[in-house]
Amino acid sequence: MDIILASGSPRRRELLARAQLDFTIMSVDIDETPQSNESPTEYIERMVATKAAAAVQQLNDTLKTSKANLAEQLIILTSDTIGVLPDGQTVLVKPTDREHAYRMWQQMSDNTHEVWTAVQATHVSRVPLASKGANTADHETVFQIIKQQKITERTAVTFIPLTMEMMSRYWESGEPADKAGGYGIQGLGAAWVSRINGSYTNVVGLPLPQTLALIKNITESGIH
């Protein structure tokens, strides 16, 4: 089945490309604000489900407005990465500004946090609109969700002690702005990481072996 990576992250695109898979990119835009009293697990699972729903809607909008050559069945991959402090409740998301980044980093300094990445595979299939009771021509179709599977991978990351000068230099580099926890282990942020316990690619933004296993599982379960 054709695969769509519903993510604007260049890091996820690069990681998935390493597996030599054929896939296309679709960017989805959703509100990523955590809800009050939402646990990290609830938040990250809501994010991948919301991104999947947005991707399906975007595909259906495409069917309505163009003659795009879309496959009959697709696998949509959605992913979301957060940091979680040792209390198991405090979520480290993308920094909204310098002060927000500093607050997160001060809590991560000389401490161990976890990086959680949720990945959801959504199998969709085109079905006739007429079969859904719509008053339309038989050849018109809409994408419908057949099944969904998700995984969550966790990796422990330990930071060295951070100084204000280190944080200031890093923020000025521009690297932290679009990254969960405000750092990139594959970039300049690597200088802050003294050790990790778990998947490196998970910290980058996509646990690659686990994601490939997820794709294989949902693809094979969709073959009849």
From residue 147, how far is each of 24, 92, 150, 174, 214 by CA, in Å? 20, 30, 10, 39, 12
Q: For 197-218, write each residue's pLDDT tens digit.
A: 999 999 999 999 999 999 999 9
Residues 6+ apart with CB under 8 A from 163: none
**Residue where the block lists tokens 């604000």:** 33
**Which domains, ranges and CATH numbers included, belong to the chain?**
2-221 (3.90.950.10)
CA distance 62 to 177: 31
- How much is the pLDDT for 128? 86
The rounded mean pLDDT for the chain is: 91
The answer, yes or no, to whether residue 99 has pLDDT greater than 80, is yes
Catalytic member of 29, 31, 80, 97:
80
Model confidence at 136: pLDDT above 50 = no
pLDDT for 224 equals 44
Residue 80 bears catalytic tag: yes
For 21-68, the pLDDT digits (tens) are 999 999 999 998 888 888 999 999 999 999 999 999 999 998 888 766
Interval 169-184 mean pLDDT? 94
